[in-house]
């Protein structure tokens, strides 16, 4: 049996500002931005088109969802973004205004640094050993 994770969701306050962050600051590629009327919109982004898993932006359209924007997993890392060069991506993203928690560090499993999106969701930028 072959199974993969196709999409993960991130709650956002505004589609367009979230697209701008992920595309223009974090360097993701916009895969889809489709409107279906009635406020329904399908927006997906990924670190690259070759990525098997994409982020789907979900508008926080209720009090319950709004309360969770930026804290879907409290202050823990929400997703790990794998890269072939952590230091390069760190420099590019930092220059674009992305907030990082420190600088890339050597760890037993590679090189990593944590950053956050415009709402406070945390991501691990990881250059895995043997990537």
pTM: predicted TM-score of the whole model, two decimal places? 0.91
Average pLDDT on 39-65 reads 94
- Give the model's confidence band at 128: pLDDT under 50 very low, under 70 low, under 90 confident, else very high: very high
Confirm whether 117 is domain-assigned. yes
Q: Report residue 98: phi and psi, to 5°.
A: -75, 135
| C-alpha to C-alpha distance for 126 and 104, rounded to whole angstroms | 9
CATH of residue 75: 3.10.180.10
| C-alpha to C-alpha distance for 20 and 117, rounded to whole angstroms | 11
pLDDT tens for 68-118 read: 999 888 889 999 999 999 999 999 999 999 999 999 999 999 999 999 999
Confirm whether 43 is domain-assigned. yes
Q: Do the Cβ atoms of 32 and 44 come closer than 8 Å?
A: yes
Residue 24 CB-half CA count within 13 A: 8
Q: Do the Cβ atoms of 72 and 78 come closer than 8 Å?
A: yes
Range of the domain at 80: 7-128
pLDDT tens for 3-40 read: 889 999 999 999 999 999 999 999 999 999 999 988 78
| Total tally of structural domains belonging to the chain | 1
Confirm whether 2 is domain-assigned. no
Supply angle C-alpha 122, 120, 37, rounded to 5. 105
Q: Report residue 85: phi and psi, to 5°.
A: -155, 95
Confirm whether 1 is domain-assigned. no
Alpha-carbon separation of residue 69 from 43, 115, 126 (angstroms): 16, 16, 24
Confirm whether 72 is domain-assigned. yes
Joined tokens for residue 86: 């952590």
- Give the model's confidence band at 131: pLDDT under 50 very low, under 70 low, under 90 confident, else very high: low
């Amino acid at each position: 049996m072959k199974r993969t994770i196709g999409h993960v969701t991130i709650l956002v306050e505004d589609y367009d500002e979230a697209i701008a962050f992920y595309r223009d600051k974090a360097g993701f590629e916009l895969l889809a931005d489709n409107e279906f009327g009635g406020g329904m919109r399908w927006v997906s982004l990924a670190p690259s088109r070759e990525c098997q898993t994409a982020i789907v932006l979900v508008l926080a359209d209720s009090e319950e969802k709004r309360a969770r924007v930026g804290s879907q997993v409290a202050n823990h890392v929400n997703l790990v973004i794998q890269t072939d060069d952590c230091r390069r991506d760190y420099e590019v993203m930092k220059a674009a205004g992305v907030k990082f928690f420190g600088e890339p560090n050597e760890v037993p499993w590679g090189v990593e640094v944590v950053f956050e999106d415009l709402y406070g969701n945390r991501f691990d930028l990881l250059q895995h050993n043997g990537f």
